[in-house]
Amino acid sequence: MQTTAVYLLRHGSVVGAETRRFIGHLDVPLSALGEAQLTAVARRLACVELGGVYSSDLARTRRSAEILGAPHGLAPISVPELREFSMGRWEGLTGEQIRTRDAEAFARWMADVAGYRFPDGESLAELEARAWPAFERIVDRHRGGAVAIVAHGGTNRMILRRALGLRSGRLLAVGQDYAALSILVRRDTRWLLRLLNHAEPLL
């Protein structure tokens, strides 16, 4: 039985995280806290024999992947399909700002997060259509080994939900904090969850 391990990580905390804005495709950098978070995760995974490190092409994931790959001498490979949801007109806004500008649209999103299409942005189905095939290609490339993938809260939730066979309405039930690590193991065609949303303590 062939086993493949995927170390799935959300990027670290970003500059302006305290404002809790919808970021989406905005290219915001890691904060000092985010750098420290990733350094802690890199220490934890330093003894894991990784065959590669992948990330989306946005700065916050690329930098996270650089820190993660450094102990292994691995330069991250950017995969644009692993980007976060495009949140369209909502990008850069807080929930309160969106609610004030378009209360009806915000209420529809809150009622059906998995089914809602962000205004001028993407739906979960569209995110899945681009990101899941990219994820599968990475896993197939490292079949029988171990690989690290650094992506985003929405992207990672989709990957975990799809791998575990959860219905789309359970999307937000899968926690994804900044710099949190989840571990998926594929045995032949069956996925197993070994760790979910683990935040490494800072020293």
**129 in a domain, yes or no?**
yes
| pLDDT for residue 148 | 98
Which residues, 6+ apart, have CB-to-CB distance to 63 below 8 Å? Answer: 11, 29, 30, 34, 35, 38
**203 in a domain, yes or no?**
no
**55 in a domain, yes or no?**
yes
Where are the alpha helices (H) located in the chain, listed in sequence order?
A: 32-45, 59-69, 95-101, 103-111, 124-141, 153-164
User: Within 10 Å of residue 101's Cβ, how many Cβ atoms?
Assistant: 12
**125 in a domain, yes or no?**
yes
Domain harbouring 78, CATH code: 3.40.50.1240
| pLDDT for residue 160 | 96
As a 3-state breakdown, the chain gives helix, strand, coil percent values, each rounded to 5, of 45, 20, 35
**137 in a domain, yes or no?**
yes
User: Is 11 an annotated catalytic residue?
Assistant: yes
What pTM was estimated for this model as a whole? 0.95
> Minimal CA–CA distance to 6: which of 200, 130, 162, 173?
162
Name the catalytic one among 66, 84, 91, 128.
84
**181 in a domain, yes or no?**
yes
Q: Which domain holds residue 61?
A: 3-198
> Minimal CA–CA distance to 60: which of 178, 176, 180, 147?
178
What is the number of structural domains in the chain? 1
| pLDDT for residue 36 | 97
| pLDDT for residue 32 | 97
User: Is 72 an annotated catalytic residue?
Assistant: no
User: What counts of helices (H) and strands (E) characterise the chain?
Assistant: 6, 6
| pLDDT for residue 176 | 94
| pLDDT for residue 110 | 87
Name the catalytic one among 11, 66, 91, 122.
11
For the chain, 203 residues long, the average pLDDT of each consecutive 10-residue run is: 94 93 95 97 96 98 98 97 95 93 91 90 95 98 97 96 89 90 94 95 82
